[in-house]
Amino acid sequence: MFKALKEKLFSARKKLENSIEETTPEPARTLDEVPAGSGSSSEVLAEKTPDLSPEKKISPKFTDKVVSFVRDREFIISEKDVSGILDELEMGLLESDVAFSVTEAILSRIKSDLTGSRRKIGKSVDSVVRDALSEALLGVLGEGVDICSFIREHERPVKVLFTGVNGTGKTTSIAKVTRYLQNNGFSVVLGAGDTFRAGAIEQIDVHGGRLGVKVIQHQEGSDPTAVLFDTVEYARAHKIDVVLGDTAGRFHNRANLMNQLEKIRRVIKPDLIVYVDEAVAGNDAVIRAEEFSKSVGMDAIMLTKVDMDPKGGAAISVAYAVGKPLIFIGTGQGYDDIMAFNPRDVVNDLLGDT
């Protein structure tokens, strides 16, 4: 995933490592590193310790202290060592559609972690730089949501409402989430709450048939709140674990549809509102998510078409920009092409070798 972003992070990582390595002083010799013919251990220590007179014996305890001092030497990474490379990384992140505010947060964290930090001479520079990049990325990606734990911890049926703009793959995403929950042992019922778009009811009905789950539906143009209310009642009567409710795609500036969504929220009282958008929209996805969050609110985000997005900016940016976690990403066309979003897995992939 995110090939372009991965390459830019890899390049910055290697340049940071090289810059820090170039400014690292040579480690002082320890007793184990004394070349043959250089004299005894006592003579070497005497050279390093001017207070010793030749007549004095060197105790084992004193020897241990000197060796420990030599091995534990540290140096401080300066701002000069990293500033130019971070400027270059800033351009790389912005080119990858990482939102400006998110780019600033990432760079600020990396600079704070590296600049002025003390590193023991001999410790791997790679681990120092990788840790700084990893923590910065995790800081903007957030914690994610474990949907299975969420369901287990809430009263059944757990009501999940899906919202988003037109054409982002919302209904197909609901089908993928259905398969994911089935694979994890949960029963599901679908509510065909998109009564606004022609063919939407048929689409979700086809998915339900293929997945073997019940779809509650009314005729086109009916009140979506009534459809979803009936879906919740069906789930209660049949002891079904999860209700997944579809809604009409809408933009935040469509007042009638936004009011309709507010009514659904008020009546159904969903446990989780998932906003769906496509990763290939880049910064537009971030802007739309911010507007939806202000207008209606959301609890989590699902990004579709991640497999078609080489840049990765939306996936890196959206959770930080909105202050809500990513819950799923869509990685293909099939029902099983879905991943529960795990920030550490994503970061490990981004910082892996290209």
pLDDT in tens, 219-251: 888 999 999 999 999 999 999 999 999 998 766
**Furthest CA-CA distance within the chain:** 103
Predicted confidence at residue 24, as pLDDT, reads: 56
Please state, in angstroms and rounded to a whole number, the distance separating the CA atoms of residues 273 and 35.
68
Tell me, what's the pLDDT at 26? 52
Express each pLDDT in 171-198 by its tens digit.
Answer: 999 999 999 999 999 999 999 999 887 7
Q: Which of 327, 316, 340, 160 is nearest to 246 (CA)?
A: 160
Cα torsion 19, 25, 31, 35 to 10°: value is: 90
Q: Residue 226's Cα: distance from chain center in Å?
A: 36
Q: Which residues contact 6 (CB under 8 A, 6 or more apart)?
A: 312, 349, 350, 352, 354
Contacts of residue 333, defined as CB under 8 A and 6 or more positions apart, other chains included, come to none
Please, which pLDDT band fits residue 145 given cuts at 50, 70 and 90? Answer: confident
- 35-92 pLDDT, tens digit each: 544 444 444 444 444 454 555 554 554 444 434 433 444 556 667 767 888 899 999 9
Q: What Cα–Cα distance (Å) separates residue 117 from each residue in 79, 111, 112, 190?
A: 10, 10, 8, 53
Q: How many CB atoms lie within 10 A of CB 148?
A: 14
- How many Å is the Cα radius of gyration of the chain? 28
E-strand ranges in 198-271 read 214-216, 242-245
CA distance 35 to 4: 47
Six-digit token pair at 274? 């998932």
Phi, psi values for residue 212, rounded to 5°: 75, 35
Q: Quote the mean pLDDT of the chain.
A: 82
pTM across the whole model: 0.79
End-to-end Cα, the chain, rounded Å = 11
What domains appear along the chain, each with residue ranges and CATH number? 3-141 (1.20.120.140), 147-350 (3.40.50.300)
